[in-house]
Amino acid sequence: MKTYLVTGAAGFIGANYLKYILARHSDVRVVVLDLLTYAGYLGTIASDIDNDRCFFVKGDICDRGLIDSLFAEYRFDVVVNFAAESHVDRSIDNPQLFLQTNILGTQCLLDAARTAWVMGRDEQGYPTWRAGVRFHQVSTDEVYGSLGPTGYFTEQTPLCPHSPYSASKTSADHIVCAYRDTYHMPVSITRCSNNYGPYQFPEKLIPLVINNILESKKLPVYGKGENVRDWLYVDDHCKAIDMVVTQGAPGCIYNVGGHNERQNITIVKIIIDTVRQLMTDEPAYRSLLKKPVKGADGQTDISWINYDLITFVKDRLGHDQRYGIDPTKIGEELGWQPDTPFEVGIVKTVRWYLDHHDWVEAVSGSDYQLYYEKMYGGR
């Protein structure tokens, strides 16, 4: 039985990863550490922690005393660090919090792991490590910066972040590599493109658009909507992390992405079409509309769910133009490839949000309404 410390697993990707590994590895037990910030919701993983292989601890990855006590109690073999402040727009508003959590939090975890896992020293003075341990850092393609119309990010692309979020993630990557190079710590890093799927907090583009349609709100597209993101279904990211943690060589870095680049405006139009189609095929979904209006046929009208809902708003400061991942290395070395084509994943995702509107309402309380007003009110 291996014991994992998974941080940030009450958030979007961490929760999907928790479900993924509990379902696939009966010989793994997991301790979840999450501060339950606005982005973390315990209800997302309530059914997972109700299990003798999964325990939840509310706490901060910056709290060294807590992390040390967890290492002492559970003797972790693996740390997978998802915990982060993850929204670029919020990082523009409050960079300091991003530096605190994403950089210092990662360093705190690394150092606690070093203290717990070092067994002795080799003849050159490098630490020797307990067998089978691994520190995995969940990173992002945003560390590479922004691309022009051609080319892709490879693992050799120089790191060149622009937002406070991506700069903090880049710093964390550098610190992870510093522990690898200075202490020979068995680390790994995955740098993944934009994820989409169940349990993503509604501040991010895809759930925000779905939710706004249900609330009859305009769909805010930054700038001209021509920025390009490379979208990957969240389970495919979870599969990649699992492969890297269990099969990737210590010290390795892998890019993760499925060559699915789309302009933002295209994504928004696909969501509008998908919501309207699902409400046409299954009229019961129309009951989710906050402001239903009856049509001439007596049914709730959905003809207004069209591209006129799109509104172009002031652009994000320092908005990266294009991300595009080259995933050749993880494909060739570990045999990873995505299972979910975008056309399938996006319909699954929109349907999930319609089927789980109670989840959206639970996570987007009054704080989210205030955030939305502040971020979009005068835009």
Residues annotated as catalytic (active site), given as ranges: 141-142, 165
Residue 260 interacts with ligand NAD (CB under 6 A)? Answer: no
Output the six-digit token pair for 259: 């060559």
Residue 134 interacts with ligand TYD (CB under 6 A)? Answer: no
For the chain, state the CA radius of gyration.
Answer: 21
CA 35 to chain centre: 16
Give the CB-nearest residue to ligand NAD: 11
Residue 205 interacts with ligand TYD (CB under 6 A)? Answer: yes
Cβ proximity to ligand TYD, 139 vs 264, nearer residue = 264
Cβ proximity to ligand NAD, 105 vs 129, nearer residue = 105
Residue 29 interacts with ligand TYD (CB under 6 A)? Answer: no
Which residue from 61, 187, 208, 241 is in contact with ligand TYD, where contact means CB under 6 A?
208
Q: Cβ of residue 142: shortest distance to ligand NAD, in angstroms?
A: 7
Cβ proximity to ligand NAD, 108 vs 289, nearer residue = 108
Helix, strand, coil % (nearest 5) of the chain?
45, 20, 35
How large is the angle between the packed helices 64-74 and 106-117, nearest 10 degrees? 40
Q: Cβ of residue 85: shortest distance to ligand NAD, in angstroms?
A: 6
Residue 161 interacts with ligand TYD (CB under 6 A)? Answer: no
Residue 220 interacts with ligand TYD (CB under 6 A)? Answer: yes
CB atoms within 10 A of CB 97: 15
Output the six-digit token pair for 156: 């050799």
Cα–Cα separations (whole angstroms), residue 285 to 211, 214, 245, 299, 347: 13, 10, 40, 12, 14
Cβ proximity to ligand TYD, 161 vs 220, nearer residue = 220
In contact, 33 and 54? CB cutoff 8 Å: no
Distance separating alpha carbons of residues 80 and 77, to the nearest angstrom: 10
Cβ proximity to ligand TYD, 136 vs 204, nearer residue = 204
Taking residues 165 to 204 in sequence order and writing x for each that binds ligand NAD by CB under 6 A, - otherwise, the string is ----x----------------------x-xx-----x---
Q: Stretches 18-26, 56-64, 214-222, 296-304: which one binds ligand NAD (CB under 6 A)?
A: 56-64
Q: Cβ of residue 291: shortest distance to ligand NAD, in angstroms?
A: 29
Residue 249 interacts with ligand NAD (CB under 6 A)? Answer: no
Q: Which amino acid, 211?
A: N
Under rule CB under 6 A, which residues in 30-89 are in contact with ligand TYD? 88
Residue 170 interacts with ligand TYD (CB under 6 A)? Answer: no
In contact, 57 and 69? CB cutoff 8 Å: no
Which residue from 18, 110, 138, 185 is in contact with ligand NAD, where contact means CB under 6 A?
138
**What's 100's DSSP letter?**
I
**Residue 74, binding choice from ligand TYD, ligand NAD, none, Cβ under 5 to 8 Å by partner class:** none
**Residue 197, binding choice from ligand NAD, ligand TYD, none, Cβ under 5 to 8 Å by partner class:** none
Cβ proximity to ligand NAD, 302 vs 334, nearer residue = 334
CA 70 to chain centre: 24
Distance separating alpha carbons of residues 182 and 178, to the nearest angstrom: 6
Output the six-digit token pair for 208: 């925000």
DSSP result, 227-241: -EEEEEEHHHHHHHH
Please work out, in degrees rounded to the nearest 5, the angle formed at the alpha carbon of residue 54 by the alpha carbons of 39 and 132.
100
Residue 227 interacts with ligand TYD (CB under 6 A)? Answer: yes
Cβ proximity to ligand NAD, 186 vs 207, nearer residue = 207
Cα–Cα separations (whole angstroms), residue 193 to 90, 91, 365: 19, 18, 28
Cα–Cα separations (whole angstroms), residue 109 to 65, 166, 187, 228, 362: 11, 19, 12, 33, 30
Give the residues lining the site for ligand NAD (CB under 6 A). Answer: 7-8, 10-14, 33-37, 39-40, 60-62, 82-86, 101, 105, 138, 140, 169, 192, 194-195, 201
Contacts to ligand TYD by CB under 6 A: 88, 194, 204-205, 208, 220-222, 227, 229, 264, 316
